[in-house]
Structure 1
């Protein structure tokens, strides 16, 4: 006679094998969709599913950025800041003193040129290009190329003549050539009112070239050592430089 026992069925998880021992059987969780905000039924725009009023209220409840710590309420103090021109290395008073010194061709003050800069020469170069443009001559590239060549030419000539005692660097040569361009700039401004050709135009150009030559020679000799005995040759080199620039004005 066979006796039958009531054995309950074994239930396995739907995701895989049963756990060891058959205890604590966990079923797989069904992923729930992400949170969806409540969309008002009266909204005519489908993508405007958030409440603008609540977002504005939440952002206006407090400041997002409270400023730097210990900054005095977040206010910047510009009293200790240097002027913008001083940070760029441009000193208008120094440029004016150097330019005014060139105006006197018989007594050029070399003391104000101890600190050589390029802001004044760039201003004179741009003025020269502007006056040439008013005369109908577009010569920006030519003037820029001649400026570079002239500075290198004066640097090489002076140091070859002075030898080991010559201490005139290229930066100072560029500054001297640039500030001494003031007579040529004045000549280019006067040439707008002078008749084309003629002996008068050549005589006026020669006067301004001698003016620029005297100023540049005095500055080059006084700013460096070993140039007093070669003043004539340095003056000849400077004369060639400014005569070349005056040809742009005359012709």
Structure 2
């Protein structure tokens, strides 16, 4: 006769697992992300200028103040052309005064600049390039030599005590009076090539125009050289005749 034993039922705790202290070893744990900030960490700070308070003690207030000051200083800055010393209105006013060979305005050329002459030099080089002549180096060299030549001649005629024309002003006047030669180089693109009387006559008219404008400006901007107007005009004629030869030939 078999003997029966009564086995008490096994009751597992609510945590699951055989050992209530260890728990269920098959239970899946939720992984945690690395470098996860705890509740005591510093909260994330939004750098939105509109939403950050403007207190100077906090970091956001410092950023807001610097942003406002930088925007205010940016509005107060001068335009880029003015910072570079390029004034288009002044250049146009001086260039327009050269267009009338019989009435040059010396008051417009009292404030000398080199931005207008550089623009005319580049235009002259461009028209020569359209005519099939690459003369950038030659034109630049002749410009420097011509300005120094006219500066030396003028101060020699005026004397050591009366020569009040500096090299910067002389270079500016010579450059602006290059406008007739620039126009000549543009007109020569539509004229017949080779030896032609029309080309010589047209070049002579533009050279006289440039010579008259430059001589009048040089005499008006300096003192004590009125009696030497003819010699100054002769030096100007040599300069612009030299540039006209680049256009003709």
TM-score tier by shorter-chain length is 0.7 to 0.9
Where do 4+ consecutive residues of structure 1 move more than 6 Å?
none
Instruction: Identify the residue that residue 204 of structure 1 maps to in structure 2.
Output: 202
1:70 match: secondary structure: helix
Partner of residue 163 from structure 2, selected from 166, 174, 185: 166
Pair 62,68 (structure 1): closer, same or farther in 2 beyond 3 Å: closer
Give the conservation status (yes or no) of the 8 Å contact 1:99–1:182. yes
1:137 match: secondary structure: coil
Instruction: Identify the residue that residue 226 of structure 1 maps to in structure 2.
Output: 224
- 1:79 and 1:89 map into 2 onto residues whose CA distance is 19
- 1:226 and 1:165 map into 2 onto residues whose CA distance is 6
Give the conservation status (yes or no) of the 8 Å contact 1:68–1:74. no
Instruction: Identify the residue that residue 42 of structure 1 maps to in structure 2.
Output: none
- 1:247 and 1:192 map into 2 onto residues whose CA distance is 14
Instruction: Identify the residue that residue 20 of structure 1 maps to in structure 2.
Output: none
**Per-residue deviation, 1:148:** 0.1
Compute the TM-score of the two structures, normalised by the length of structure 2.
0.75
Partner of residue 240 from structure 2, selected from 234, 238, 242: 242
Deviations 1:55-99 (CA, angstroms, capped at 9, x unpaired): xxx999125875557336566123211111111111100000000
Instruction: Identify the residue that residue 137 of structure 1 maps to in structure 2.
Output: 133
Segments of 5+ residues of structure 1 without an aligned counterpart are 1-49
- 1:210 and 1:121 map into 2 onto residues whose CA distance is 19
2:90 match: secondary structure: helix
Compute the TM-score of the two structures, normalised by the length of structure 1.
0.74
Segments of 5+ residues of structure 2 without an aligned counterpart are 1-32, 48-58
- 2:165 and 2:68 map into 1 onto residues whose CA distance is 53
**Per-residue deviation, 1:115:** 0.3
Pair 160,61 (structure 1): closer, same or farther in 2 beyond 3 Å: same
* More helix as a share of residues: 2
> Paired residues, what number?
199
Pair 75,174 (structure 1): closer, same or farther in 2 beyond 3 Å: closer
Pair 51,101 (structure 1): closer, same or farther in 2 beyond 3 Å: farther
- 2:202 and 2:79 map into 1 onto residues whose CA distance is 41
Instruction: Identify the residue that residue 110 of structure 2 maps to in structure 1.
Output: 114
2:179 corresponds to 1:182: yes
